[in-house]
Structure 1
Amino acid sequence: MIRAAAPKVFTIDPALPFADALVRGLMARVEAAGIPLSDVTLLVPNRRSQRALREAFLRMLPGAGGDRALVLPVMRAVGDVEDEELILSPAGLGAEAGALPPAIGDIRRLGLLLECLTRWQKEARRALDLGALSPAQGWRLARTLARLMDEMETAGADFAKLKDLVPEEFAKHWGITLEFLEIVTRIWPAVLAEEGAMNPAARRDTMIRQLAALWADHPPKGMVVAAGSTGSVPATAELLKVVSRLPEGMVVLPGLDTEIDADAWAVIDAKAHRNQTHPQAMLKALLETMQVSRDEVEPWDESAAPDGGSDGRLSLIIDALRPAEATGYWQSAGYRERAEVDIFVGMEMIEAPTEREEAAAIACVMREAIETPECTAALVTPDRALARYVKAELARFGVKVDDSAGDPAILSLTGRFLLLLAEAAAKHFAPVPLLALLQHPFAAAGEARGPFLDWVRRLDRLVLRGPRPAAGLAGLMDRAKAAKGFEKDVKRLERLIHILKPFEDAVDEDKAAGLVLKAHLTVAEALAANDHDTGDVVLWRGEAGNAIAALLAEIIDEAPIAGPIGGDAYAALFAEWLIGLVVRPVWGRHPRLMILGPLEARLIRADVMILGGLNEGSWPREPVRDPWMNGEMRRKLDLPSEDRKVGQAAHDFLMAAAAPRVILSRALKVAGSPTVQSRWLFRIEALAGKPVPRAHRYLDWAAALDAPVAPVRIEAPAPKPAVEARPKRLSVTQVETLMRDPYSLYARKVLGLEVLDALDEPPNAAKKGTLLHDALERFLAEPGPRVGEAGVERLLAIGRESFAPVLSQPGVYAFWWPRFERIARWFVENEAVRAETHETLAVEVWAERPLPGRDFTLFAKADRIDRKREDGSLVIIDYKTGNVPTAKRIEAGFAPQLPLEGWLAEAGGFKDVPLGQVGDLVFWHISGGDPIQEEKSPVKDVRGTIDAAAEGLMRLVDAFANPDTAYLSNPRAHEHGYGDYDHLARLKEWRDARDPFEGGEA
């Protein structure tokens, strides 16, 4: 057993690179003691620290890494709880560790917790109703329970105290929660016993305490150095206490402030929940646990001195972060009187308008660093979105950067492919998710990727456009068989459906999640196979593929989800499985650039340290809301508070900001919302009385990357095709387009560019009008009853046939069809009344007429032509479900459809419609609302309007027969609005850039 001995505790100044200083001091001690490095055991916070120390040894020892072999000290990761790593292999503990049950796997634990959740809900039948929980929600809830157990066990909290946490008046409500938490207090221990396992946190802490007890009784041989830990895990703090008193044991703390005055040190008390946000709060709590006075802590390497002249800046940062009770010192600190170059030496600030510009500027800093031989640069930030932006910006330079947090597996090619397949099945292989799946680079269905993608494009254009087909793969096949031009491709679709069918059957039959997952993976491999590789080779290669394969294999083996699960529930659960899985590429990254989290940066120092995302809510982070207990309840249980996490973040900030060259960065807006700068930055600038010097050059460089070499003036398109290429035959509606937006007609008629229907097109007003026209046309054209209830029933039957392609859609069934039912009854009743005064001559009838003396033909399709019984004049009727043109627009010539149809009718252009004078031009506004129909006759001077329309048509045709007449794009935007070909004309570019004073319309 260790006799009472003075603790040996040291610290390394924040201004020094921790890893290099640690190795330098360790080498001096090893040399003085005359022992080999292999006899030294190093305990470090995490595995990334082990890597940093290995690199530091290579830098410090001449010849190491070349021809000279080097045996390094034994390094073990004693991870802080934030790292979520198991620590200390059982081999380091001997029989004591071997006697412990194994730690239960994370997936196994979550699966069993989900089973407990389901069983408890069925058995308890209490006030807390969990009946609506989906499997994905249950998985998330199980994860919060696992986190609660880890926190409680790490802090050594007593679960029995839960019942006494709230005042009596709230006990009833808290009792409901307590009943639910019986899962972790009563049910889960029995499950662990049956599994013969322990919770990971409990096993880790038990192992640490066993090691501490073992070393206290039987000190290990050789030197033991615990370095870099702040003792945030109580068991770790106890181990450090033992290490500090070993005969050859030492503890090296990161950045302990030995100069802070006694008054300021006294008001820091993490255990009493006072000033826990201070950078030294965690270290002071550790010293108290170790029973070590701050005066007993010595510098690790007294010969080392900070370089770069950053002493003044470090003092400024330390003083700026003093506890509120000790800020009276600020008045006499004298920083305001000191020159900017003295207190901010080596520090600059990037303040960008948005986070994207912040990332671009940071990328320029890192790109600049690699221009200097051997210079290293590290971005330190807890903001994962900023880290992703920076990686994307560096990619434009062809630089891949090592990100310690890794890449989300769900965003990898394998992760996206599997998720797209799950979502497509959940949506019954609707057009949008199906096309997204088939366009994924992995999709090939056993073919070469190129020909397969060509086929997918034909499937998109010929089958998937327009209203959604009937649900499922069968509905897709029915649509494909009816599609014109797709006949030769149906066999390929049959093969694709054969591949996808097992997964569709699995989700439609609501099988257990494990069976659905197996079907999912089988189908994914079949779909990913190509002409060179099998599907398993395509899917599971690379770091991401290996990680996802291992996770899903563990889920199949360890966490079967009992009970049936449908497509939507399975897709959500599958996404929940992949969330949190990250992958770190092991090669291909730049050796001198890094992206680090604050905890990992504690022991790692680059030549250029970039502290990014310095906004409140990002650094320090927004407090995470505990779903089970508020702050006061956590305090009563001695659980870590959010303030303590802020204090740890402040310590990490100070360690990184003490580097010789530091660049701070923040964005004034994130996701479009204004931000507030980090409290630490605010305090630093407030104490200094001046802002941190701005590094505007990086923002300028980033802006220059996207700036055009010279401004380019985009002119409005004015194509002038040859006369023989211009259209010689137009409908009356196309004549209207020629007047309003000639470029649209040019694109369609001259270039032959047809507008595609939208994917999974929602039923719009135009579609509604088309279906209504079809139903009314068939009702009047086909034989059968036209009056009374029989007529109404016949029209409704015809309507069901016309609306069949879209009637299954909820919006159509709920809104359109009830309106059509009202329209049907009105139409039949109106026909009976109208027959007394009018005779219907034709419905949906075509007309065609060459223009006199011109190589041009006008054609039209009239919705309906009636003849008045009183005088024999013709009535041209147009059904409208949308807006009706006003009299002013018709008289101005902007809506010439009905007047031109009247001109054709008077010339005998309509088939089977006798010659006659047009007496009225009528719009029937049929909405099915209130009123159901309105008859509008905006044209008062029918004769004059028809003649003017004909004369205008002649002038228009003559104008475009001139080779110098251009097809302008949307020259009357106030009349035409949006055009289908505006994007092709790049309208926004030239219209926005046009000088408003150059004069009116293009």
Structure 2
Amino acid sequence: MGRDDRCGQPLRHPLSRQLVRCRPPRKHPAGREAAVTVFPPSLSPRVFALPPGADFSVALLQGLEARMQGQSAISWARTEIYLNTQRASRRLETLLQHGPVRLQPKITTLDRIGQDLPAYPPLRRRLELAKPVRKLLEVADNAGARIQAFDLAESLMTLSGEMQERGIAWESLSGVSSEHLSHHWQRSLKFLELIRELLESGEDSAGRRRAGLLAQAARWTAAPPEHPVIIAGSTGSRGAVPEFMAAAAALPNGAVILPVLDPYLPLTVWQHLQASIRAIDHPQWGLARLTAELGISPGDIPDWVPAQAPCEARNRLASLALRPAPVTDQWVTEGPALTPALAEATAGLALVEAPSLRAEAEAIALLFRRSLSEGVPVALVTPDRTLARRVTAEMDRWGLAPDDSAGRPLSLTPPGVFLRRCLRLTGWDTPAATLLGLLKHPLTASGPEVRGPHMRKTRALELERLRRTDRPFTAEAVAAWAADKGADWAEWADWLAAVLAQSPATGDHPPAERLEAHLAMAETLAAGPGQSGSGELWEKEAGEAASRACDALREAAPYGDPLDLAEYRTLLTSVLAAEDVPDAPFEPHPGIAIWGTLEARTQSAPRVVLGGLNEGIWPRLPKPDPWLNRDLRARIGLPPAERQIGLSAHDFQQGFGAAEVYLTRATRDAEAETVASRWLLRLDNLLSGLGKQGEAALDHMRGRGQALLTEAAALNARPQAAPAPRPAPVPPLAVRPDRLAATRIEKLIRDPYAIYARYILGLRPLDPLGREPDARERGNAAHLVFERFIAATKAGLPSDAADLFRATVTETLEECVPWPATRALWQARLTSLTDWFLETEAERRARATPALFEAKGSTPVSGPPAPFTLEARADRIDIGAEGVAIYDYKGSIPSGGQMLAFQQQLQLEAIIAAAGGFDNLPAARAIHLEMIGLSGGGRLAQLPPKAKKGETQRTLAETIEMAHRDLVRLITAYQTEGTAYPARLRPDSLSYEGDYDHLSRLGEWTDGEDYTPEPVS
């Protein structure tokens, strides 16, 4: 139980564990506090500093303890300490608790100052600013980009926050001359002038903080407190913080402690930093400006404690490497002086240049694990939250979780993902993958009694409905399907129908209406069938955070314009992404930590990893201001965007000074090669220019990093197992198939293993999820077009056959092809075949009369040792005076050799026809076999193919007889004991992909490799 600043409230000291009461401070008889002398009198502002690499919190407490020697416990309780982050506050409180028993000082953060003042709700302000922005986009004929309104409103809020933070009035823009500006910036200024009243309507958090800081500074000036007041860890880069720090530094017992003041910068460099805005990206630029405002020289600032930096030689190296661009000629003059101490400066440095993002995270995780075994505290400092999450995930292999200060965005937590996925529903037209992704989400039907039954029904729905492409997915169809399975299935189907009926509406609707409808649907989905409430949607830390975010949006919603679904989805995602939720699944380990760059400013560890050192990550590229260009910002007193680069450089310099430092980066991300951070490039260039000793030091840094990468890669190494041989199972004769379709005969020839897997093991590939415009769908649609056209013209081709054919194409595709773009493409291809098809159709009609379409047939095959049935489905059979003509529609036509050796479908159908195996067709010999190709403008292929030079031309009867003999030999072979089913025996091409390649472990063996028959039971 921590300290409570309110008098009369219980307080339990963490060490004494005794319950005490806060008492009012003692007063002198005159009514004043007892004087506390901590600092000697000073005519200048009392400012101290700490060198790079020092543990700021530890040094702060050490210096305070030294100055508070002999003071009473009440003096400790009256001491005020202002820190820059909540993490630094917690760290200092922890250090105080582990010290001697004493009353804790009042510790607060700068961000908390002014919180009691009224502030404009940020979400309401964003919605109000989005209104004029949307009108601006509409006036600019950019109404289709209304979705950008919220991002632009957010940038307006950022600009407003900057101006409020620095006390710049919006009216300052009125006096800016716009004659020299382009039309875009002139229009931007006019727009800002039009909405100035709205921009000035209330203070946001930045304005509230400024007001609070200035009010506190004024109170100190009017009535200086005699107790110690210390401001520690701030660089004075934000708004009124410099004035606040100046007021504290002038107090009788006030002091300012600056982080990472470079003690090795020459006076000329300090003067350059104070005078030039071009050096704004230097790590010490902010401190140079702050000391100039305080009226002190950086070289005269004493250390807070006399402690030495972990490595002074490295701090000198960093100071020289990071010199501002105009004075980098000092590398030549001062660089040689570093050479004797280069080995010492780089002894604790390692440069890890990982080949990938994953390899970088694995190396850092391994370093964390090694540090724990060595008993050395370690911290990762990075602005890259993706890297932080990767490292946390990698630590899970040891069951460890680092103390991560940030967590992950609410939008990426289960409640955030669930709420966003709900907005993807579009009723019964919802894509199957989208619907299944939501139904299988862990928060759907999350009650303990309904989750299991819901998942079983979802699986049945997937396999029996969503993966069937020939049946529409509608409420009626699902209700009929569920009704046959029982009452609980009907209840589940009704619940699913109710959810889909609540799908987000199209068109513009008020934000409040959209939010309530969205949350009602989400809660219904989370509760499950027959349940009330909201399941586990709002439970646990992430659920509670999501509930707070939705409440904030509910309060602000009445102030926004009506939104369409895309705009509401964008708004909700941004609201959820604005809040972070702790990510650790259990108690984090105290010896490993992940810090943001701001938090690392006031704390350190013996071993530090500076991660993500690539341009665009550390430092991040400044975001462009869509409202004011660089010149306009400078003219009204706003700093350039590069100021953030200078702050990032300051944080890099702090981490670089630790006792042991690992500099890590990935040389390639998911898309392309990366560029090393400018600070790494400076360090590389400086060391490379210092001769052999500098190059050797750089090589040693890389060597240590490569050793870590090699060890991390070994973690993923697996025992080298012998690759699987090419499978060739030999199943018992009793389980081998006794019937196959004609199309499966080719599969038996080319890939016997596929027949083994499908018909013996009973493994059937899942149908694709949802209807997709693939080759099978295209073939089915084309077959239906020709079937309908031929059936309509069975009596003869009419004079308007071309028009009828085109009309048939249009009507059929509109009926069976639900994808507009695909339908238009297929329609164009089929109608382009009109003239060719009618011309060749006339020849077919002269040969025989169309009779059967998609005709099923079968016949026993005589000759094999065991009974075997051949089956087929003929696309088209025409009947003539001398026999039948059999046709097969194909996308592309195989070669003559392939038709004779592999694709024997026409010959096998002729065998069935000769045996009278087709329904409604008496036995008849085949007089014509032809494939009708529908690609490349149309093509025909007849059997037998034309003989090659030097070969004897076969007749059709001979071709059919040869196919029969081949079939008997093939079936006989596979009805013989010992015959194997090898994988990919004769693949069609190198790019051939089979449904069972993964099962046969293709890749561990190659095509053409020998195989050994292996009996299986």
TM-score, L = length of structure 2 = 0.86
Partner of residue 53, structure 1: 92
Pick aligned residue for 2:875 from 863, 867, 872: 863
> 1:969·1:987 contact (CA, 8 Å) conserved in 2?
no
Aligned to 2:899: 890
SS in 1 for 2:380: strand
Q: Does 1:362 align with 2:364?
A: yes
Give secondary structure in 2 for the equivalent of 1:132. helix
Q: Partners of 2:799 and 2:511 in 1: how far apart?
A: 52
Matches within 5 A, 1:736-747: 736-747=746-757
- Structure 1 residues 503 and 916: alpha-carbon distance in aligned structure 2, compared to 1, 3 A threshold: closer
Equivalent position to 1:30, from 68, 84, 90: 68
Q: Please list, as runs of the form range in 1=range in 2, the aligned pairs for 1:542-621 lying within 5 A after superposition.
A: 542-560=540-558, 564-584=562-582, 588-621=587-620
Q: Which amino acid in 1 is paired with 2:286?
A: M
Kept after mapping to 1: 8 A contact 2:883/2:924 = yes
Is 2:781 the counterpart of 1:771?
A: yes
For residue 421 of structure 2, what is the amino acid of its counterpart?
A: L
- 8 Å CA contact 1:226–1:252 kept in 2: the answer is yes
1:432 corresponding residue in structure 2 = 433
Find 1:761's aligned residue among 765, 771, 777.
771
Match of 2:714 among 704, 718, 723: 704
Which residue identity does 2:1005 align to in structure 1?
R
Contact 2:115 2:209 (8 Å CA) reproduced? no
| 1:763 and 1:806 in contact (8 A); partners too | no
Tell me the residue number matched to 2:113.
87
1:444 offset after TM fit, Å?
Answer: 1.7
Following superposition of structure 1 onto structure 2, how do residues 266-285 of structure 1 map, counting pairs within 5 Å? 266-269=271-274, 272-285=276-289
Q: CA deviation at 1:557?
A: 1.8
Distance in 1 between residues matched to 2:944 and 2:159, nearest whole Å? 73
- Superposed counterparts of 1:541-940, under 5 Å: 541-560=539-558, 564-584=562-582, 588-688=587-687, 689-690=694-695, 691=698, 692-693=701-702, 694-777=704-787, 787-788=797-798, 803=813, 806-817=816-827, 819=829, 834-854=844-864, 855-868=867-880, 872-880=882-890, 882-891=891-900, 893-926=901-934, 931=937, 939-940=945-946
Q: Which moved more, 1:937-946 or 1:481-490?
A: 481-490
Shift of 1:257: 2.1
Paired residues of 1:732 and 1:859 also in contact (CA < 8 A): yes
Task: Classify the secondary structure of the residue corresponding to 2:241.
Answer: helix
What does residue range 378-457 of structure 1 map to in structure 2 within 5 Å? 378-425=379-426, 428-444=429-445, 447-457=449-459
Amino acid at match of 1:542: K
**Residue 219 (structure 1) aligned to one of 209, 221, 224:** 224
- Describe the shift of the 1:806–1:30 C-alpha distance in structure 2 as closer, same or farther (beyond 3 A): farther
2:968 to 954, 964, 980: 954
Q: Which moved more, 1:451-460 or 1:685-694?
A: 685-694
Counterpart among 227, 234, 242 of residue 247 in structure 2: 242
Distance change >3 Å, CA 542–CA 354, structure 1 → 2: same
SS in 1 for 2:730: coil
Aligned match for 2:125, one of 91, 103, 109: 109
Q: Which amino acid aligns with 1:856?
A: F
Q: Which residue of 1 aligns with 2:308?
A: 305
Q: SS of 1:13's equivalent?
A: coil
Q: Is the 8 A contact 1:370 1:376 kept in 2?
A: yes
2:737 maps to amino acid: P
Contact 2:127 2:560 in 1 (8 A): no
Equivalent residues of 2:53, 2:309 under 8 A apart? yes
Q: 1:814 to 1:713 in 2, by over 3 A?
A: same
Q: 1:571 to 1:266 in 2, by over 3 A?
A: closer
Match of 1:199 in 2: 204
Please list every run of 5 or more consecutive structure 1 residues that lacks an aligned counterpart in the other structure.
Answer: 63-67, 80-85, 91-99
Q: CA deviation at 1:722?
A: 0.8
What is the alpha-carbon distance in structure 2 between the residues aligned to residue 723 and residue 598 of structure 1? 70
Question: 344, 347, 350: which is aligned to 2:349?
Answer: 347
**What residue is the counterpart of 1:943 in the other structure?**
957
Instruction: Report the CA distance between 1:172 and its aligned residue.
Output: 3.5
Structure 1 residues 490 and 879: alpha-carbon distance in aligned structure 2, compared to 1, 3 A threshold: farther
Counterpart of 2:239 in structure 1: which amino acid?
Answer: P
| 1:250 CA displacement | 0.6
Any conservation in 2 of the 1:502–1:519 contact (CA below 8 Å)? no
1:465 maps to which residue? 467
Letter aligned with residue 293 of structure 1: S
Provide the rounded CA distance (Å) in 1 between the counterparts of 2:288 and 2:365. Answer: 37
Residues 275 and 572 (structure 1), Cα distance of their counterparts in 2 relative to 1, 3 Å cut = closer
How far off its partner does 1:54 sit? 1.1
Q: Is the 8 A contact 1:469 1:476 kept in 2?
A: no
Alignment match of 1:10 (pick from 33, 36, 48): 48
Structure-1 separation of matches of 2:265 and 2:957: 98
Render the CA deviation track for 1:821-847: whole Å, top value 9, x for unaligned.
666898678766743442334333233
Distance 1:248 1:519 in 2: 58
- 1-structure distance, mates of 2:626, 2:787: 62
Measured against aligned partners, the alpha-carbon deviations of 1:764-808 in whole angstroms (never above 9, x if no partner) come to: 222121233245445656898764389889878887886566433
Q: Which amino acid aligns with 2:730?
A: K
Q: Which amino acid aligns with 1:887?
A: G
The alignment's TM-score, normalised by the length of structure 1, stands at 0.88
Contact 1:378/1:606 (<8 A) preserved: yes
Cα deviation for residue 171 of structure 1 reads 4.6
Structure 2 residue 992 is matched with structure 1 residue 978? yes
In 2 relative to 1, CA 945–850 (structure 1 residues): closer, same or farther, beyond 3 Å? same
C-alpha offsets along residues 695-719 of structure 1, whole Å, 9 cap, x if unaligned? 3343233212211123331222222
Residue 443 of structure 1 aligns with an amino acid whose one-letter code is T
- Answer with 291-300 or 688-697: which moved more: 688-697
CA distance in 2, matches of 1:905, 1:427: 45
Structure-1 separation of matches of 2:229 and 2:685: 43
How far the C-alpha of 1:400 sits from its partner, in A, is 1.8
d(CA) in 1 for partners of 2:943 and 2:898?
Answer: 13
Q: Secondary structure at the match of 2:685?
A: helix
> Cα distance, 1:27 vs. partner?
1.1
Give the 3 Å change call, closer, same or farther, for CA 907–476 of structure 1 in structure 2.
Answer: same
After superposition, give the CA deviation of every residue in 1:383-442 in whole Å (9 maximum; x if it has no partner): 122111111111222112222222111111111111111112489432111100000111
Point out the more displaced range, 453-462 or 969-978: 969-978
Partner Cα distance (1:487, 1:945) in 2: 56
One-letter identity of the residue aligned with 2:928: D
Deviations 1:271-320 (A, max 9, x none): 63132222111101001111122243111112x2335xx22222211121
Q: Distance in 1 between matches of 2:537 and 2:640?
A: 43
Q: Deviations over 1:109-158 (max 9, x none)?
A: 1122223434x549xx85x3453343x42222211110111112223345
Q: Distance in 1 between matches of 2:419 and 2:506?
A: 18
Preserved CA contact (<8 Å) 2:425 2:500: no
Once the 2 structures are TM-superposed, how far is the Cα of residue 658 of structure 1 from its aligned partner? 0.9
Q: Kindly, what percent of the aligned residue pairs are identical?
A: 33
Structure 2 distance, partners of 1:799, 1:325, is 73
1:841-883 alpha-carbon deviations (Å, 9 max, x no partner): 43332332222232212122222223455xx253221112x11
Task: Judge which range, 311-320 or 170-179, deviates more.
Answer: 170-179
- Distance between the aligned counterparts of 2:548 and 2:368, measured in 1? 35
CA contact (8 A) 1:743 1:969 kept: yes
Matched with 1:338 is 340
- CA 1:896/1:163 → structure 2, altered by over 3 Å: closer, same or farther? farther
